[in-house]
Amino acid sequence: MQKFNLDEFKATTNANDCLVLNTIRHYGPISRAAIAKVTDLTAPAITYITNKLLDSGLVVEYKVGKSSGGRRPILLTVNPDILNVVVIHISSNKLRGYLVNGDLQVLTEREYPVQKVPKDDILELMLTTISDLKQESKTDILGIGVVVHGPVKSKEGISIFAPNLGWRNVPIKYIVEEKIGIPTFVENDVRAMAIGEFHYGTARSVENMVFLKVGYGVGSAIFIEGKLYRGHGDSAGEIGHTTIDVGGPLCSCGNYGCLESLVSENALVKAMVKSIKEGRSSVAQDMAGGNLDEITPEIIYEAAEKGDVLAGRILRQVARYLGIGIANTINTFNPELLTIGGGIVRARAFIEDTILDTVKTRSLENSFSLCEIEFSDMGEVATVKGAADVVMTAIL
């Protein structure tokens, strides 16, 4: 197997080389003519740079593409075997580890429960998982991406606050690089998922996108002219904490009536439990064994699929509030695409029409007509690809 020399690669590459490489990474398999179209570089420049990348081993000729009238083009893609990346995703109840190849395909996956596990033990488990995956890799580990819930300082690699893990200002980058000795990059889970969606999902053909993840909480990420907008303090995109109803329920942030307090899966469960306590009936209660504390978002989705009236009504209520939040977002950012991800996607059949009707009514006509609203079906794959992309972009 060809050995990749990162130092030599960095010493001999320039901005155009990186532009072409990233175009191949994000759009491959892709022809040289298509690369020229995306990058606005001349055909001779593309030929020179792609030959250089082929010689380095980072890029390979994948297959012959379809002809559009002339000679059939040779498609280029990233060499999947020349380098690997480790991705660690730490959620509120699980630690997942992935060994990912150069083509962002998962080679090995590990999963461990971390609910109620002491915070220091989680860090040790993270380091052990990285070491195990490193041992399994048959080629160099280019870098490590660590994805965590809650706000992060991505540049410094610090988890500012992960309440479910008991973390405050944990210097993840320093800890991993000190113990493992490989460049490490830390990203928030919503942004990692959004990056994966932007480069490898529904948004591959757009430059301006807002990604809205509706799960236990509500998070978002904003892409402007092809770049993730982080804001002055690396905290842009808190759409979940914009006020929708000043008389609404208490939010986790301490304010009342935030979008998150009205549309998150946590809010969905609270609304179902409250309705049942008020005397309304639902098969969700039976599905939870009669214990209201055991009702989960998945139970509510399944109840709606079974035709449960209350589950359907609550989901439509969530959809109206979500539509208001999306309308506000579209009016503010005027994106080409707004993508909805997270657990709420499972309820698409019950919420999509209400969301679209609400957005159409409450957003400016010109902004609404120019914005596509899509539901993501990538799930965790988007998070893994996004985290691996963060590492490769930073290193290469």
Domain-embedded: residue 183:
yes
28 CA to centre of own chain: 20
Q: Give per-residue pLDDT as tens, 260-310.
A: 999 999 999 999 999 999 999 999 999 999 999 999 999 999 999 999 999
- Shared domain for 170 and 25, answered yes or no, is no
Three-class SS state of 234:
coil
Task: Tell me which of 38, 63, 78 is where a domain ends.
Answer: 78
Angstrom CA distances, 148 to 105, 200, 248, 297, 386, stand at: 21, 21, 29, 22, 13
Give the closest residue to 149 by CA, choosing from 99, 93, 212: 93
Count how many residues are written for the chain.
396
Q: Confidence band (pLDDT; 50, 70, 90) for 196?
A: very high
Mean pLDDT of the chain: 92
Residue identified by tokens 């690997």 is: 84
- Shared domain for 385 and 370, answered yes or no, is no
Domain-embedded: residue 154:
yes
- Shared domain for 138 and 230, answered yes or no, is no
Domain-embedded: residue 333:
yes
Burial of 6 (0-12, 13-18, 19+ CB in 10 A): middle
Per-residue tokens: 354 = 């209400």
Q: Which residues, at least 6 apart from 135, have a Cβ–Cβ distance to it below 8 Å?
A: none
Q: Confidence band (pLDDT; 50, 70, 90) for 65?
A: low
> What is the predicted pLDDT for the residue at 281?
94
Domain-embedded: residue 201:
no
Give the closest residue to 230 by CA, choosing from 195, 183, 185: 195
- What percent of the chain has pLDDT above 70? 98
In this model, does residue 251 exceed pLDDT 80? yes
Q: Which residues, at least 6 apart from 74, have a Cβ–Cβ distance to it below 8 Å?
A: 31, 32, 61, 62, 63, 64, 65
> What is the rounded average pLDDT of the residues 109-114?
95
Give the closest residue to 261 by CA, choosing from 239, 288, 278: 239
> What is the rounded average pLDDT of the residues 10-27?
90
Q: How many domains does the chain have?
A: 3
> What is the predicted pLDDT for the residue at 250?
93
> What is the predicted pLDDT for the residue at 13?
86
Residue identified by tokens 């990186």 is: 18
- Shared domain for 301 and 220, answered yes or no, is yes
More confident of the two residues 295 and 1: 295
Domain-embedded: residue 45:
yes
Domain-embedded: residue 105:
yes
Q: DSSP state, 149?
A: S
> What is the predicted pLDDT for the residue at 279?
95
Task: Tell me which of 78, 94, 126 is where a domain ends.
Answer: 78
Domain-embedded: residue 1:
no
Q: How many CB atoms are located within 10 Å of the residue 92 CB?
A: 15
The whole-angstrom separation of Cα 33 and Cα 75 is: 10
In this model, does residue 68 exceed pLDDT 80? no
The whole-angstrom separation of Cα 342 and Cα 17 is: 35
> What is the predicted pLDDT for the residue at 203?
84
Q: Give per-residue pLDDT as tens, 24-51.
A: 999 889 999 999 999 999 999 999 999 9
- Shared domain for 125 and 246, answered yes or no, is no
Angstrom CA distances, 89 to 112, 190, 216, 269, 346, stand at: 11, 11, 16, 25, 22
- Shared domain for 188 and 249, answered yes or no, is no
**CATH at residue 33:** 1.10.10.10
- Shared domain for 350 and 385, answered yes or no, is no
The whole-angstrom separation of Cα 43 and Cα 162 is: 48
More confident of the two residues 396 and 366: 366
Domain-embedded: residue 290:
yes
- Shared domain for 174 and 310, answered yes or no, is no
User: What is the domain extent for residue 122?
Assistant: 84-195+381-395
> What is the predicted pLDDT for the residue at 132?
96
- Shared domain for 46 and 92, answered yes or no, is no
In this model, does residue 121 exceed pLDDT 80? yes
The whole-angstrom separation of Cα 331 and Cα 377 is: 25
Task: Tell me which of 59, 78, 97 is where a domain ends.
Answer: 78
* Helices (H), ranges, the chain: 6-12, 15-27, 32-39, 43-56, 119-136, 172-180, 189-200, 259-263, 265-277, 283-287, 297-305, 309-333, 348-362, 365-369, 380-395
> What is the rounded average pLDDT of the residues 98-111?
95
- Shared domain for 146 and 183, answered yes or no, is yes
Q: Confidence band (pLDDT; 50, 70, 90) for 93?
A: confident
Q: Give per-residue pLDDT as tens, 318-362.
A: 999 999 999 999 999 999 999 999 999 999 999 999 999 999 999
- Shared domain for 162 and 299, answered yes or no, is no
**CATH at residue 249:** 3.30.420.40
In this model, does residue 247 exceed pLDDT 90? yes
- Shared domain for 366 and 274, answered yes or no, is yes
Maximum pairwise Cα distance, the chain: 73
Q: DSSP state, 302?
A: H
> What is the rounded average pLDDT of the residues 109-116?
93
> What is the predicted pLDDT for the residue at 150?
85
